[in-house]
Structures are given as structure tokens and as C-alpha cells.
Structure 1
Amino acid sequence: MDAGRASSRGRGPRRAPHAPPASTAPLRDAREVRAELDEPTLVVRAQEGDVHAFEELARRHQDALFRVAVRITGDRSDAEDALQEALIDGWRRIGTFRAEAAFSTWMYRIVTHRCTRQLRTNRDTVPVADVGDQRAGDGSPERAAEVDAEMEALGRAVAGLPEEQRTSWVLREMEGLGYAEIAEITGAGETAVRGRIHRARTALAEMMRAWR
């Protein structure tokens, strides 16, 4: 017998190569993956029809948008309605977004327009007391009651401002946005925005004089 054959037979049957071990890492949830995407990527996906990408964008900004809506409308229920309608508008119009401004600026514009409609529909809105989030004082019940009363008074004063002044003042003083960004949101010139905020500050200072 040929020595080569004998040697080959002596080794026994050939074994199939081992398959690579299956991964033990858990499959990542699609929401977790979307949460790690940057905003421009999510915008592009949303413009391609990915509703989940738009939902992620909305999730990132909804707290700030709702806060603005509450402060402009003065009513949580109206703010919720305005925000929901604004998000629907945003999804329908996402194809028109050209990234000339930040996505948040674009959504602020839609929300403020919806809030303005709410204000014109419901002129009898009672302002909420949380126009300001800061609570200062020595912690005593008397001081806390005084601060709450002052915040309620400020809420009523803000509600009494003309719509254009109120929106500009809220975006500047409560949200800390710059004049240029407020101009982009409201569609007014930067000079007009500065004028509105100045008039709002003057009016509020007069209305809040009793608390000084």
C-alpha cells in the first residue's frame, strides 16, 4: 500500500471547520440607535419619510417647545394643543426645511405661530403661575407665598402684553435666545425684535412696580 495513502487513512475522517461562536451581545433597540444619531442625519431620514426619525427629533426638543408654548399661551391645555398641532405641521412640512437655521429654531417658529392662533381664538386665557421657574427666598412659608403671588402677578402681566411683544420677550428672557434667532423665529427684523423686547420690559416694569 502506498505510504501516503496509509498515512491519510490513519488520520481518520476529516472534520468540518468550526463555525464562529454566536454573538452573545444583545441586539440593540432601534430607538437606542436613533438616539445616538446626530440631528442632521435624523433630519435627512425624516425628509426621506422616516417618521421614527422625526419622533426622535421631537423627543429631543419637546420639553423646550412645550415650555415656550405654556409661557406664550398662559394655559397648559392650550399649550399642549398648540404643541401637538405644531409637531403635526412640522412632520408635514419637514421637506421644506433647508437647514438655513437650526431645526430647533424652525420648530420654535411653528410653535409660536400655533400659539398665536390659540391666543386669537381664546382671548380669555388665564395665565399660569409658572412664567418664571426660579423660586427665591429664605424658605419660610410666608416668603414662599409671597414669591408665588409675585409669579402669578408676573404671569398676568405677561399675558397682558401684545402678542408680538409677549412672544419676543418669552424667547429672550425666559429661553435665553439671541436677537437674531428670535428674528428668524418671528419673521421680524432684528431691530423690530429689539424694539418689542424693550417695550415689553418697560411695560412689565411698570405693571410689576408694586412688587419692587
Structure 2
Amino acid sequence: MGHDADDRALLAAHVAGDPDAFGVLFSRHRDRLWAVALRTTGNPEDAADGLQDGMVAAYRRAGSFRGDSAVTTWLHRVVVNACLDRIRAAKVRAADPLPDDLDDSARRGAVVRSDAAPAIVPRAPDDPADLALVADRRARVLDALSRLGADQRAALVLVDMEGYAVAEAAAILDCAVGTVKSRCARGRARLAELLADLVATADPPIAPPAGNRRAPGDVPSPGDPRGPPTVAP
């Protein structure tokens, strides 16, 4: 099966016994799946395990794909569920840090997109005192995000950080659109409570671009220590 085959053809070829098709499919979506796993779990080690678990599950259960969604939506659903299973099983402490590369997303205005909890990371200053203030604020933001429940955090990762439409996030999380909206609203409200003092004193927030979506390659590169691992089903 060639690299120019569409996702459905690759998945069908894998089910039919093509030994290379799944590898081509995974390589095509690897960076995006890694980014979602990284932000859902909060650290590279758990993200690598979650991605590995998800891809093994997808490899083995490819025949169960019903075709009622895009293949990439199905892959994201499997990976996110694997990551959430790991979070719940390990009872991850609320103070566990989020990925170091989250500040890159913040500079793009993608930390929180909500009137209730506006982005509060100011533009990078040059003054050392201001730099210290930015670092403190960033630590506060990361700590607040880490206190969200797994389901709320997953919804906010997909909608507010990865730029998915609510309907797409609902398909990935395998729940109703209203459930995603509710999880995002509760998560944003909680962030607004935790970060109320920063919201009141922050510089004007950086407005996120309409329909902000992370580009497929806009994640740590494979050569980066935090980059996506090689998954061998």
C-alpha cells in the first residue's frame, strides 16, 4: 500500500493483512497524536505510554472501525482514552506539571480561549523583573490547569489548545457535544477561580486567532527529547 493511499484505504489494507499499512497510517498522524497525548497526560513519560497503549489497541482493533467517523478521529479517540485510562489508574496528583512546551502554545494564545478565563500570559518582556513575573504567572497557570479533572482537562486540551471544533472533540471523546461544552465551561470556570488574581492584574491578553488549530508538524520534533516516540505495535 503506497504512502498516497487515503486513511480508510490504509486501515482496510491493514485489516486485510498488509504488513506496512498501519505503519504508514501512524506515521501520517504521529505528530498530532503525540501532541494530544502529551497535553492530556501532562508529561512525556505518560504520554509515550499512553500513545503506545493507544496504537497497540488501534492496531489490534482496527477491524472494529465502523467507518462512521474519520480514521484520524477514531485514532485520536483511542489514544485519548488510553491516556485517560492511565491518568485514572495512576490517580495522578493534581500538582503534576504539564509539558514544558506549553509556553509555546501560550505565546500563540492557545492556553485558554474563554471570556470567563482569558489568556493571561503577557508578551515576553525584556526586563529581568518582568521575566521573573512571567515565569511566576506561567507556573501558576500550569498548576491551575493540572488541578482540573481528567475529563475536563482532555476537553480543554482538544478544544482550547489543539483547536478542535466542539463537535470534533465530542467525536474523539465519544460523548455528546453538550458534554464537551459542559466540561470546557466547568474547566474554564475553575481556572477563572484559581487564576482570578492574575486575570485582574495581567497585561492585555493575547487574543487567539479564529479557529486556531495546531499545524500537523507544530509539535516537538522527533529529535527533541520530548518528541514523539516510535511506536511498534
Q: Normalising TM by the smaller chain, what interval?
A: 0.7 to 0.9
Q: Which structure has more RCO (C-alpha within 8 Å, separation ≥ 6)?
A: 2
**Secondary structure of 1:70's partner?**
helix
What is the identity, as a one-letter code, of the residue corresponding to 2:87? L
Query: What CA distance in whole angstroms lies between the structure 1 residues aligned with 2:90 and 2:158?
Result: 21
Q: Which of 60, 73, 79 is the aligned partner of 1:92?
A: 60
Query: What CA distance in whole angstroms lies between the structure 2 residues aligned with 1:37 and 1:141?
Result: 52
Larger Rg: 1
Match of residue 75 from structure 1:
43
Change (3 A) 1:204 1:100: same
Change (3 A) 1:40 1:144: farther
Q: How far 1:144 moved relative to its partner? A: 4.6
Q: How far 1:210 moved relative to its partner? A: 2.9
Q: Percent identity?
A: 33
Q: What aligned pairs does 1:1-212 form with structure 2 within 5 A after superposition?
A: 34-125=2-93, 126-128=96-98, 129-132=100-103, 133-135=105-107, 136-139=123-126, 142-212=129-199
Query: What CA distance in whole angstroms lies between the structure 2 residues aligned with 1:55 and 1:127?
Result: 31
Change (3 A) 1:96 1:119: same
Higher helix fraction (1 or 2): 1
Q: How far 1:198 moved relative to its partner? A: 0.7
**Secondary structure of 2:106's partner?**
coil
Contact kept in structure 1, 2:11 and 2:21, CA below 8 Å: yes
Q: Taking structure 2 as the reference length, what is the TM-score of the superposition?
A: 0.70
Specify every segment of 5 or more residues in structure 1 that has no aligned partner in the other structure, as ranges. Answer: 1-32
Change (3 A) 1:147 1:100: farther
Moved over 6 A (4+): none
Specify every segment of 5 or more residues in structure 2 that has no aligned partner in the other structure, as ranges. Answer: 108-122, 200-233
Number of equivalenced pairs: 180
